[in-house]
């Protein structure tokens, strides 16, 4: 499940990969000296029987203190890939396989990765609105930052992706996913409002929430927050 799928009629597709690149930069100077930037790459391919998606999302924020030292407030890389095999070319039901990797420098884990497979279906409200639902078992693997220990856990992954085409130039998407395990439950929500500037360029306002039910005290005594929030305004180029 991805936060900015532009669903298309598979019968009209040529099977080629399509991509969109998203970038946002904020630089402040004067009383506050800080830098933050966000980059994202989406790949998609639709055929009669397959939907395939891949996402790379990176966000970093750093600032200088009055003493001149540099402090990193955010540094996160998220990768995911998914393939859906439809039961039939005209079917809304499919089986999927999903994989993800996340490296967040400020949470309790050096990395968190997931692989899952299961059943998916699409509920169409009307020509401009639909929701994809998916559920299936999987396995998560992570490495704790405080002790360096690695651990694996069986999970159940559930996800819903809502898309509303508001007009020819605007659309809203909302992704909600959760991976439920014995040791940790990781949830992610991504909402985005996209407005086209022209056929290639668009402006996007997005809100990303990432939640881990389990956190660990770090060596410096810091306890990471369970909920991490990211708000971004970016330009999106489709090619």
Cβ(95)–Cβ(124) under 8 Å?
no
Gyration radius from the chain CA atoms: 19
Identify the pLDDT of residue 150.
93
Torsions phi, psi for 11 (to 5 deg): -65, -25
CA angle 212, 52, 207 (to 5 degrees): 40
What pLDDT digit, counting tens, does each position of 168-177 carry? Answer: 999 999 999 9
Identify the pLDDT of residue 126.
92
| In the predicted structure, residue 114 carries a pLDDT above the cut 50 | yes
Identify the pLDDT of residue 73.
85
- Can you tell me the distance from the alpha carbon of 25 to that of 146, in angstroms, rounded to the nearest whole number? 31
Largest CA distance in the chain: 63
Comparing 71 with 234, the larger pLDDT belongs to 234
For 71-84, give one letter per residue: b (16+ CB within 10 A) or e: eeeeebbbbbbbbb
Average pLDDT score over the chain: 88
1.10.10.10, 3.30.420.40, 2.40.160.40, 3.40.50.300: which CATH number matches 10-238?
2.40.160.40
Identify the pLDDT of residue 12.
46
| In the predicted structure, residue 133 carries a pLDDT above the cut 90 | yes
Beta-strand relationship, 50-64 and 70-86:
antiparallel
Comparing 230 with 89, the larger pLDDT belongs to 230
Per-residue pLDDT, averaged over 128-154, amounts to 94
- Can you tell me the distance from the alpha carbon of 58 to that of 10, in angstroms, rounded to the nearest whole number? 30
Identify the pLDDT of residue 17.
83
What pLDDT digit, counting tens, does each position of 17-50 carry? Answer: 889 999 998 887 776 788 899 999 999 988 888 8
What pLDDT digit, counting tens, does each position of 189-220 carry? Answer: 999 999 999 989 999 999 999 999 999 988 77
């Amino acid at each position: 499940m991805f936060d900015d799928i532009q669903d298309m009629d598979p019968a009209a597709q040529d099977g080629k990969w399509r991509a969109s690149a998203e970038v946002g930069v904020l630089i402040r100077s004067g009383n506050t000296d800080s830098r933050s930037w966000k980059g994202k790459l989406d790949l998609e391919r639709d055929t009669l029987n397959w939907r395939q998606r891949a996402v790379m999302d990176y966000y970093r924020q750093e600032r200088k203190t009055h003493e001149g030292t540099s402090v990193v407030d955010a540094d996160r890389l998220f990768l995911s890939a998914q393939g859906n095999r439809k039961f039939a070319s005209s079917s809304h039901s499919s089986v999927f396989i999903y994989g993800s990797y996340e490296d967040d420098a400020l949470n309790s884990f050096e990395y968190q990765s997931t692989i899952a497979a299961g059943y998916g279906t699409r509920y169409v409200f009307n020509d401009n609105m639909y929701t994809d639902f998916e559920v299936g078992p999987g396995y998560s693997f992570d490495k704790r930052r405080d002790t360096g220990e690695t651990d694996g856990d069986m999970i159940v992954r559930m996800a819903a992706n809502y898309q509303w085409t508001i007009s020819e130039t605007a659309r809203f998407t909302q992704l909600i996913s959760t991976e439920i395990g014995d040791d940790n439950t990781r949830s992610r929500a991504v909402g985005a409002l996209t407005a086209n500037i022209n056929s290639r360029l668009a402006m996007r306002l997005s809100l990303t929430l990432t939640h881990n039910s389990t956190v660990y005290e770090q060596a410096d005594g810091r306890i990471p927050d369970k909920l991490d929030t990211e708000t971004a305004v970016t330009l999106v180029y489709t090619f």
